[in-house]
Amino acid sequence: MLKFTAAAAALLLAAPAAFAETHGMAASVTAADQSVANGVVSAASVVAPENGWLVVHRTDAAMKPGPVVGYAPLRGGETDDVAAILTEPVMPGEMLMLMVHSEAGGMQAGGFEYTLGAAEDGPIKPGGDLVMTVITAK
C-alpha cells in the first residue's frame, strides 16, 4: 500500500515548473501576428521555468531584442492568454519579440526592473537560448 504524505503533496503542488520541465514541456512562447490597436500584445501560451515576466521588445529583420515596449508578470509553469500592456505606441507592420524574463537579480520583488542589457529581471536562457517568438503588429 502506498503512503501519500502531506510533504509529498506539498512538493507536487509547489513545483509546477519543475514538473513541466521533466514532462516534456520546454520553456516557450506561442503567439500570432495581431492587432495592437487596443494597446495590448497577447501570447496564446507561455511556459516559464520560474516566476518572471513576458517582455515585449521591438525588433527587426536582424532579430536582435531592442527596447522594451511592454511587459506582463508570469507564474512559473504554463499560462494561457498572457496580455502585456504596451508602454509606448507600436505601429502596424512593426516586429515585436515576446520573450520570457526572470524575476531574479533585481532589488524589488514583483517590480519589473530590466533595461536593455541589464542583469536585473533579465532574459531566461535554458540551454543558452532565449525563450521567445517574433510577431508582426497589425
Does 1 have pLDDT greater than 90? no
- The CATH number of whichever domain residue 118 belongs to comes to 2.60.40
Q: Is residue 19 part of a domain?
A: no
Q: Do the domain assignments include residue 111?
A: yes
State pLDDT tens for residues 65-108.
999 999 999 999 999 999 999 999 999 999 999 999 999 887 88
Residue 80 inside a domain? The answer is: yes
Tens-digit pLDDT profile for residues 24-80: 579 999 999 999 999 999 999 999 999 999 999 999 999 999 999 999 999 999 999
Domain count for the chain: 1
Rounded to two decimals, the pTM is 0.81
Q: Given pLDDT bands bounded at 50, 70 and 90, which one contains residue 118? A: confident
What is the 3-state secondary structure of the chain?
CCCCCHHHHHHHHHCHHHHHHHCCCCCEEECCCECCCCCEEEEEEEEECCCEEEEEEEECCCCCCCCEEEEEEECCEEEEEEEEEECCCCCCCCEEEEEEEECCCCCCCCCCCCCCCCCCCCECCHHHCCCEEEEEEC
pLDDT (0 to 100) of residue 110: 86
Range of the domain at 34: 26-136
